[in-house]
Structure 1
Amino acid sequence: MKKSLIYIFILLSVMACLDDKSNYDYKDLNDFENWDRNGVSNVAGSYTLYPGEEILLEPKVRFSIDTLNPDASYAWYLGEEEEMTLLSDQLNYTYKADQIGKFTLLFCATDNKTNVTFTKELTVSVVASWKNGWMILSRSAGNESQLSMILSKKQSISEIVDGKEVSRDTVVYVGENINVVPSLGRGPRKLVENFIYPTAIGMQVEDEVMVLQESGPVELDGNELTPVGYARNEFFDGIPDRFDPVDAVLTFDGKWLLNSDNYIYMANLSVAIDLHSGFYLKDPSLNGKKVKTLLPYYKGEDNYLIVGIDENNTYFGIVNDGECIYNTTDYVIGPLNNVGACAEFREDYENDLLKEVKGDFIFHAWANEANYYTPPAYFSILDQDGVYLWHYYELDYREENDKFRLMEEGSESGQIPASIMVDYKCMALFPWHEWLLVASSDRLHFYDYWENRIINLSSFPHFNSEIVGLAVKDYDSYYGTVNAHLAVALKSGEVYVFEVKYDSELEVMELVELYHKDGFGEIVDIEYKFGQGNKPGASSMY
């Protein structure tokens, strides 16, 4: 409403000035036809700051006339709609990030001859420095766990397109914090992020990070990265013998630990915004079912299934359908749910890629954004005596005669070229672009599995050490305007981050280096930290 009033005021001011023919001629008026493009420079459309940071905004104003010495007044306002607050009446303004949130700044330049006001809107996002970015888990010389972060910000940058300067948003990397959690533990294994998808109006919950290690899992606050929970302290009836979790799935309403003896321990949460509102039981879940693998879980909307592979190399599901009680403000998870129920295939079901699978799995990833119309999809790589098969499949469940049945909604498979699997180290999936990235020793290979073709690189990055970890922040961009980011971890303790740019006409991939740093130690795991439950999806650049 305020913006509309401002523009109405501008229009009325212009009309009044045109009627006053004794003072001004139409051709001598400053105009705002090209104001957004040419009128204000030296300030971006958006900024990202960490708490306590300051930024000096020094706009350069260019009117269509009086360009050298304009007779003008300036002002900065905070907010929009009915809550605009005057911050400054000077051309330059220093903004200080006092609190976390997203804020709107309005810059106004008034031509004193005509009282016409020109405006430019800026967005400032204030985020915790460890909210988003790349997490690196390393092992020290004494086997201590060390967690480090590569810091990122969203920033507007200028580019020349068709001879004209245009602005676009991108993510930049502004440094790193190494070993941010003293005395974290020993024997690092894996990182898992736990965040809640905001399914209820007004729901606010911070993410957490679980560090799996030999000394026991620890959960860290997503902003401060300080310990907020230990799995050993969350058992209701005592810690199991040989309690030694090696993997975890963290969901909307539960936490699932896969132990080294292939048993699963479950904590069923009672409050959606409290990730420690439940407790584990000493007895294994799923009636003592032995489990080899828990698949990565897409923590988005409408995903009510955890997928695993049991000791018979057969897929199964765990129902995860808890939801908040309708129209309440305490976000209690309703008791009428089936969380923890096991879903298995019928006895007569036959698919040798899903039941009694022959071979060894070497890679699993989530492969889509589950929603009301599409069940969750997964992508796996199977090693069958040196023949590598990729498998894309959708799994869901249904209730049938008081039992839950795992259902296959769709399935595609193919064979990976042997040439890119020589000296294989690790893999990563670009879920929106449908590419598979394979690391072989110190080389990277992009593979389009739907088209069964290796994608050529315009130039090969030269690494001085073998690759030990890959992580991807992919984007589902309808117009292809947003490129994925890729992190590569090396045995030497170095980490690279690249922008992945694909030329569809030339069918060539380019890796643009955005960040490179060594000194991370012996890297055990690297993951992108999304920060919120809606961030892995389509429109979340940062």
Structure 2
Amino acid sequence: MKKNLIYIFILLFTVGCLDDKSNYDYKDLNDFTNWSVDGVRYSYTLYPGEEIKFEPEVHFSIDTLSPDASYAWYSGEEEEMILLSDKLNYTYVAEELGDFTLLFCSTDNKTGVTFTMEISVYVVAPKKNGWLILSRGAGNESQLSMILSKKQSKVVYVDGEEKPRDTIVYVGELMNVTPGLGQGPRKLVENFIYPSAAGFLVEDEVMVLQESGVVELDGIELSPVGSAKNEFFDGVPDNFDPVDAVLCYDGKWLLNADNYIYMTNLSVAVDLHSGFYLNDPSLNGKKVKALLPYFKGDYTDNFLVVGIGEDNTYFGIMDDGQCAYNDKSYTITPANYVGSYLELGNVPERNHPFLFRDVEWEFVFHAWANRANYYTSPAYISILKNGDDYYWHYYELNAETDRYKPGQKMIVESSEYAQLPAAIMNDYRCAALLPWKELLVVASGNKLNIYNYWDGLILNLTSVPHFGSEIVGLAVKDYKDYNQLLNAHLAVALKSGEVYVFEVKCNQDKDSAELLELYHKGGFGEIVDIEYKFGHGTNPSYPGLY
């Protein structure tokens, strides 16, 4: 819209010039169609303190070699544009975080016609988005490293025309970014604030689970801001040793090594440390085998934390906390049932009851498989092992109603499963899910496989990477892109301490894929976990890149 207003102004100005009774011959005029600029992209991502030196090469439709032209650079919104420079070349310095718009103008002095190019500049914190790597250092030390990323525009051709497209580039790494974390690294989990907290500059956090204790890091500097041991109301339990966690909209759930759960219920949605844990285990001391991954950052449609008990039967935990309407303090109202236990309801025969109750197979992988909405229940995908055979299981679980009442149960909305091909499961190491592409990535020894589980197809990899060491970790950054213009990114961690990042470029039929290497570096040590840091709760399913 801003561009349209600028062009309307320029055209009106041009008409005024043409009415001028001058001696110019207007049969040959510089026009918009053939005006172009080289050497300048449509968008840039910078870290604070970085700068860009713009040196545009302007091409007019006529007088291209020696145009009679003047130039200007502006910033700000159209109504409050600020002149930055009246020279062709300009150096921009990133001084504060935020999204900024620059306007480059070139004016044909013969006619007074001005041609414009709008440039977006995103100034971001270096550690806000990228791949996090948790490694084991000397003396069992926990070491956290990060692969840094930036959004960058590129030009692609669509129906013969140049179109700007955004992509992600990886620009380096920070090794052992938070010294002194602790010992015995186990797992990384990212936590988000209430996603629509307007006016609050509150960042995500990263929880590091380790033998020496749970530490939470802020999302900008990755510096410690909290410890689970310091958030107990009535003393730390004697056997407190968390091995896993689910971080949801209004609480934090820690799975202890002895299979008990400890919960803190937040009182303020924009303060991830506004609650406290109780010394007594949650759920009246129920023993729990696993907590399933949670689609974080969304409170409107995900009302459950899902777990699997020691009896290998699924259950739910109510997660229905909300803020008071129009309350800018973002206080979570006490009129909810957060932490209430939901027994699994009757599972119809068509939903494969043996996969939900008294499951005899071994669970080896879980992932969330969609973002719930009004039409779709929260979905998961699991891989189970039965002897030497492996099966995938896709299922949707939900509360009977979104308003809890005592005795409410968790129900199965849908369930599908099938056996995974032995060809991709021999020497199984780990797996990952591309949730929006609906593809499983499976590591077998030092080989990658991509599987279209709905169609039962092993994708033909047209570019097969050769790894000199076995794969120990996989992580994904998939994009929910309705126009299918964005490809997923896949990180692969090796036992040798190397990390690769690939762009996964699938064909339309999802029976073939090309893996384009975007990043490769060694020296990360003994890798324990690798995760993508989204930076904000809306990003896991937002169609943008950053």
Q: Which amino acid aligns with 1:455?
A: L
SS in 2 for 1:232: helix
Question: Which residue of structure 2 aligns with residue 295 of structure 1?
Answer: 292
Aligned pairs (5 A) from 1:402-421: 402-421=406-425
Question: Which residue of structure 2 aligns with residue 120 of structure 1?
Answer: 117
SS in 2 for 1:7: helix
Q: Contact 1:18/1:25 (CA < 8 Å) preserved in 2?
A: no
SS in 2 for 1:142: helix
Q: Which amino acid aligns with 2:172?
A: G
Moved more, 287-296 or 339-348: 339-348
Of 208, 221, 224, which residue of structure 2 is paired with 1:224? 221
Distance change in 2, residues 1:275/1:153 (3 Å)? same
Question: Which residue of structure 1 aligns with residue 181 of structure 2?
Answer: 184
Question: 2: distance between equivalents of 1:432 and 1:23?
Answer: 62
Of 385, 391, 394, which residue of structure 2 is paired with 1:392? 394
Distance change in 2, residues 1:78/1:235 (3 Å)? same
Superposed displacement of residue 515, structure 1: 0.3
Superposed displacement of residue 52, structure 1: 0.9
Q: Contact 1:75/1:109 (CA < 8 Å) preserved in 2?
A: yes
Q: Contact 1:200/1:324 (CA < 8 Å) preserved in 2?
A: no
SS in 1 for 2:140: coil
Question: 2: distance between equivalents of 1:264 and 1:204?
Answer: 31
SS in 2 for 1:28: coil
Superposed displacement of residue 300, structure 1: 3.8
Q: Deviations over 1:71-98 (max 9, x none)?
A: 1111111111322111111111111111
Superposed displacement of residue 5, structure 1: 4.9
Distance change in 2, residues 1:80/1:408 (3 Å)? same
Question: Which residue of structure 2 aligns with residue 383 of structure 1?
Answer: 385
For the pair 1:474 / 2:473, whether they are aligned, the reply is no
Question: Which residue of structure 2 aligns with residue 130 of structure 1?
Answer: 127
Gaps of 5+ in 2: none
For the pair 1:434 / 2:431, whether they are aligned, the reply is no
Question: 1: distance between equivalents of 2:366 and 2:128?
Answer: 26
Q: Which amino acid aligns with 1:185?
A: G
Q: Contact 1:204/1:273 (CA < 8 Å) preserved in 2?
A: no
Question: Which residue of structure 2 aligns with residue 322 of structure 1?
Answer: 321
Superposed displacement of residue 217, structure 1: 0.4
Superposed displacement of residue 196, structure 1: 2.2
Aligned pairs (5 A) from 1:196-235: 196-235=193-232
Q: Deviations over 1:291-325 (max 9, x none)?
A: 00000100143212111100100001111111111
Question: Which residue of structure 1 aligns with residue 497 of structure 2?
Answer: 493
Question: Which residue of structure 1 aligns with residue 18 of structure 2?
Answer: 18
Q: Contact 1:300/1:369 (CA < 8 Å) preserved in 2?
A: no
Moved more, 446-455 or 151-160: 151-160
Superposed displacement of residue 22, structure 1: 3.3
Distance change in 2, residues 1:347/1:167 (3 Å)? closer
Question: 2: distance between equivalents of 1:540 and 1:3?
Answer: 21
Superposed displacement of residue 142, structure 1: 1.2
Give the aligned length: 539
Q: Deviations over 1:150-198 (max 9, x none)?
A: 0000001234667765532110000000100010100000000001242
Gaps of 5+ in 1: none
Q: Which amino acid aligns with 1:366?
A: W
Distance change in 2, residues 1:369/1:2 (3 Å)? closer
Q: Which amino acid aligns with 1:361?
A: F
For the pair 1:460 / 2:459, whether they are aligned, the reply is no
Question: 1: distance between equivalents of 2:193 and 2:398?
Answer: 21
Q: Contact 2:345/2:411 (CA < 8 Å) preserved in 1?
A: no
Question: Which residue of structure 2 aligns with residue 529 of structure 1?
Answer: 533
Question: 1: distance between equivalents of 2:487 and 2:231?
Answer: 41
Superposed displacement of residue 56, structure 1: 0.7
Question: 1: distance between equivalents of 2:135 and 2:141?
Answer: 8
Question: Which residue of structure 1 aligns with residue 90 of structure 2?
Answer: 93
Superposed displacement of residue 24, structure 1: 2.2
Q: Contact 1:390/1:415 (CA < 8 Å) preserved in 2?
A: yes
Question: Which residue of structure 2 aligns with residue 354 of structure 1?
Answer: 356
Q: Contact 1:41/1:61 (CA < 8 Å) preserved in 2?
A: yes
Question: Which residue of structure 2 aligns with residue 28 of structure 1?
Answer: 28
Q: Which amino acid aligns with 1:327?
A: N
Question: 2: distance between equivalents of 1:338 and 1:259?
Answer: 23
Superposed displacement of residue 21, structure 1: 5.0
Q: Contact 1:17/1:24 (CA < 8 Å) preserved in 2?
A: no
Question: 2: distance between equivalents of 1:374 and 1:196?
Answer: 23
Q: Contact 2:34/2:60 (CA < 8 Å) preserved in 1?
A: no
Q: Which amino acid aligns with 1:68?
A: L
Superposed displacement of residue 201, structure 1: 4.0
Q: Contact 1:197/1:299 (CA < 8 Å) preserved in 2?
A: no
Q: Which amino acid aligns with 2:330?
A: Y
Distance change in 2, residues 1:361/1:348 (3 Å)? closer
Q: Which amino acid aligns with 1:310?
A: G
Moved more, 418-427 or 203-212: 203-212
Question: Which residue of structure 1 aligns with residue 55 of structure 2?
Answer: 58
Q: Contact 1:198/1:204 (CA < 8 Å) preserved in 2?
A: no
Q: Deviations over 1:16-65 (max 9, x none)?
A: 22223532233222111243xxx112111100001111111111111111
Question: Which residue of structure 1 aligns with residue 515 of structure 2?
Answer: 511
Question: 2: distance between equivalents of 1:72 and 1:57?
Answer: 17
Query: TM-score, normalized by length of structure 2?
Result: 0.95
Superposed displacement of residue 334, structure 1: 1.1
Question: 1: distance between equivalents of 2:530 and 2:390?
Answer: 24
Question: Which residue of structure 2 aligns with residue 168 of structure 1?
Answer: 165
Question: 2: distance between equivalents of 1:200 and 1:150?
Answer: 28
Q: Which amino acid aligns with 1:258?
A: L
Q: Contact 2:499/2:521 (CA < 8 Å) preserved in 1?
A: yes
Q: Contact 1:319/1:338 (CA < 8 Å) preserved in 2?
A: yes
Q: Which amino acid aligns with 1:269?
A: L
Q: Contact 1:197/1:532 (CA < 8 Å) preserved in 2?
A: no
Q: Contact 2:203/2:219 (CA < 8 Å) preserved in 1?
A: yes
Moved more, 145-154 or 333-342: 333-342
Q: Contact 1:467/1:490 (CA < 8 Å) preserved in 2?
A: yes
Q: Contact 2:441/2:451 (CA < 8 Å) preserved in 1?
A: yes
Q: Contact 2:195/2:297 (CA < 8 Å) preserved in 1?
A: no
Question: 2: distance between equivalents of 1:533 and 1:457?
Answer: 32
Q: Contact 1:3/1:80 (CA < 8 Å) preserved in 2?
A: no
Q: Contact 2:459/2:510 (CA < 8 Å) preserved in 1?
A: no
SS in 1 for 2:395: strand
Distance change in 2, residues 1:464/1:326 (3 Å)? same
Moved more, 295-304 or 225-234: 295-304
